[in-house]
Amino acid sequence: MGLLDRDLWKEVFTTLSKNMLRTFLTTLGVIFAMVILIGLLGATNGMKNGFNQIFAGTATNSMFLWTQRTSMPYKGFERGRSVDLRLEDVALIKREVPEVDDISPRIQLGNFRGTVTVIRGGKSSGSSVYGDYPTIDRMSKKRMVEGRFLNQKDIEGARKVCVIGVDAYKLLFDKGENAIGESIRVNGIYFTVVGIFKRNDNINFEGENAVFVPFTTFQTAFNSGDEVGWMAILVDEDKKVAVAERKIKALLKRKYNIHPDDPRAFGSFDFSQIFEGISAFTLVLSGFSFFVGIFTLLAGVIAVSNILLITVKERTNEIGIRRALGATPKVIRRQIVMESIVLTFFAGLVGFIISIGILHGLDIAFGQTDDAPFTNPTVSIIQVVVSFVLMVGLSILIGMIPANRAVKVKPIDALREE
Amino acid sequence: MIEIKDLHKSYKMGSNSLHVLKGINFTAEEGELVAIMGSSGSGKSTLLNILGMLDEADSGEYNLDGVPIKNLSETKAAKYRNKFLGFVFQSFNLINYKSAMENVALPLYYQKVGRKEREEKAIKYLEQVGLKEWAHHLPNELSGGQKQRVAIARAMAAEPKVLLADEPTGALDSKTSYEVMDLIQNINDQGNTILVVTHEEDIAHMCKRIIHLRDGVIVEDKKIKQVRASSYVQ
């Protein structure tokens, strides 16, 4: 007479199905609880996925570094001096700071976030023009719509090629017009378009009307020498960006005679911090969802127990008969607990199905655009299994209350009750 | 079969204690059909409940088929009830959402008898009480007499040593009462020991022996000439 005993199951199902309305009402609490639990978890996961999509293509263990004006006098230099990063610094940092995986120096025509006029025939676009190394792709992935991104050969040969964003394409070309192999003009210099990109993430400084040319080409074409605008620095996966950042800044301050405590001389932007912040946020949110969900579930299971407690009272006579006919306390207890488990489990299942439907609806309603805050809101198998195990565990524990009440009924009292 | 020595039982009612059984002694042999009579409050139901292990005596001895019934755990009591005793109640006490057959099969379920055998036996006993055609009906589709016959079939299904009937005809009209008594007599004829609690003289005289209880003691215990219920049944 184990759990797989067909007769026990039949007893349980007969009892429950003979009282359909009561059974249904009993389960409502658990159904709602499960909807809330799975719904919250799914929504949190959807939010997490949304964040992940925002960050997709950005190496999270990376940082930007640029120079600003000094804010402290040092070694005879006055404050307010500006220094420029040089190409040689790339090699210096790579050599001196072991945490650094890769560095992509970059230079921009005009000021930071400034634009220049890019011309093709009678059309023009106000675009940011960057001199870049192909390694930038490791830190901020570009989704190529057509053609290719810059490569090492472009750098070595200082080829006059460029990669343009879709917005720049729209301004410079007619709809559907082939752009690859066509020339565009920047400050009187012609570049051949080799690729069109679409931004892949929501964090970028370039925008979709940017124009990328090889760094070496930029140097000769616009006469920028060894100057570097800023650096995108990729840090080893297992190292802290903050540590590398501190070392790099200290190194450069020594080199450029800047006060070691000067907080303003170098600016930087640490992606990992933002990412960690968001990770922590979603983690707390998941934890909170689970917490709320579990307690709602507990309330639902207690409602089941409560109803079973009432039905035990109602069924006093029946329980008395069963005991007079030879049902041991164990058998009675097991039947009530099984009723609790079966009710809770099926209610949970129904709630689960409803919540999956709701999440699917949310996904259709909000999750389909590129920059959706809400992407693919689903729950993991582990979350589902944990939820169900907790639910069944709770239903066993709490089912013991009405079960023990049923056992306490004396057969003699039960039979007298009419 | 049944041996009782100096049985006492009292109930606490607030500060007073009500002494219901004041030293009962009696013996019933196998195959006897005993009527226990007495006015209400005489202790006859209490005696039957103690005999049925539904209640426990304060002191005294009770042996059932040579087994001492004393200080039983609930589990043990349940097993003994299932093995030794069949119950018939005044209010039938059928489980209302189970068919006649399922009701009859219930004691066998608690004996861990397999489904098929259980149902076969249930049908067999229903046939004995003449209700085979009603096997799949629910109790509320049956008349009072039919319900009591189902209850008797259920009591017999576990093949108990003793059948205990508490006012089995109390809720029935006299014609139906005689039909039920006829059935009880037939079961007794097959050699089963039966105790019937009743306060009706005519029902008591359909037994083979009458025990009169008054104020918790046996005042009379006599063998009688049995009146066959079938003589009343047309």
Q: Indicate the residue of B78, B98, B154 with minimum beta-carbon distance to A328.
A: B78
Answer whether A322 sits within 8 Å of B87, measured CB to CB.
no
ipTM of this complex = 0.88
Q: How many CB atoms sit inside 10 A of residue A113's CB? A: 10
pLDDT for B142 equals 93
> In chain A, which residues have their Cβ closer than 8 Å to the Cβ of B161?
none
Cα B132 to Cα B206: distance, rounded to the nearest angstrom:
26
pLDDT for A1 equals 43
- The residues in B 137-166 lying below 8 A from A, measured between CB atoms, are 154, 158
pLDDT for A340 equals 87
Q: Taking the domains of chain A in order of start, what are their residue ranges?
A: 6-56+276-416, 62-268
Q: Which of A166, A282, A274, A161 is nearest to A216 (CA)?
A: A161
Two tokens at A208?
């979709």
> In chain B, which residues have their Cβ closer than 8 Å to the Cβ of A7?
109, 115
Q: What is the mean pLDDT of residues A69-96?
A: 84
pLDDT tens figures, A4-31: 567 777 777 877 777 778 778 878 888 9
- With cut-offs at 50, 70 and 90, classify the pLDDT of residue A113: low
> For A324, which residue in chain B has the nearest alpha carbon?
B81
Q: For residues B54 and B43, is the Cβ–Cβ distance under 8 A?
A: no
> For B111, which residue in chain A has the nearest alpha carbon?
A326
Answer whether A327 sits within 8 Å of B110, measured CB to CB.
yes
pLDDT for A206 equals 65
**At residue B9, what are phi and psi to the nearest 5 degrees?**
-155, 130
Cα B210 to Cα B220: distance, rounded to the nearest angstrom:
8
**Chain mean pLDDT for chain A:** 83
Domains in chain B: ranges and CATH = 2-94+160-231 (3.40.50.300)
Q: Which contiguous run of DSSP H or E holds residue A129? A: strand A129-132
**Chain mean pLDDT for chain B:** 89
Question: Is residue A375 scored above 80 in pLDDT?
Answer: no
HEC assignment per residue over B21-58: EEEEEEEECCCCEEEEECCCCCCHHHHHHHHCCCCCCC
Answer whether B106 sits within 8 Å of A325, measured CB to CB.
yes
pLDDT tens figures, B39-92: 887 888 888 888 988 888 889 999 988 888 888 888 888 888 888 999 898 888
Q: What is the mean pLDDT of residues A307-330?
A: 85
Q: For residues A137 and A58, is the Cβ–Cβ distance under 8 A?
A: no
Q: What is the mean pLDDT of residues B164-189?
A: 90
Cα A109 to Cα B212: distance, rounded to the nearest angstrom:
120
Q: Which of A66, A166, A155, A149 is nearest to A112 (CA)?
A: A66
CB neighbour list of residue A170: distance below 8 Å, 6 or more residues apart: none
pLDDT for A408 equals 84
Q: How many CB atoms sit inside 10 A of residue A73's CB? A: 13
Q: Indicate the residue of A15, A324, A330 with minimum beta-carbon distance to B75.
A: A330
pLDDT for A368 equals 65
* DSSP-derived secondary structure letter, A180: T
Angle of the B100-110 helix axis to the B74-84 helix axis, nearest 10: 120
Q: What is the mean pLDDT of residues A279-296?
A: 85
Chain A contact for B91 (CB, 8 A cutoff):
yes
* DSSP-derived secondary structure letter, A74: B
Assign B125 to helix, strand or coil. Answer: helix
Question: Is residue A406 scored above 90 in pLDDT?
Answer: no
Assign A104 to helix, strand or coil. Answer: strand
Answer whether A326 sits within 8 Å of B97, measured CB to CB.
no
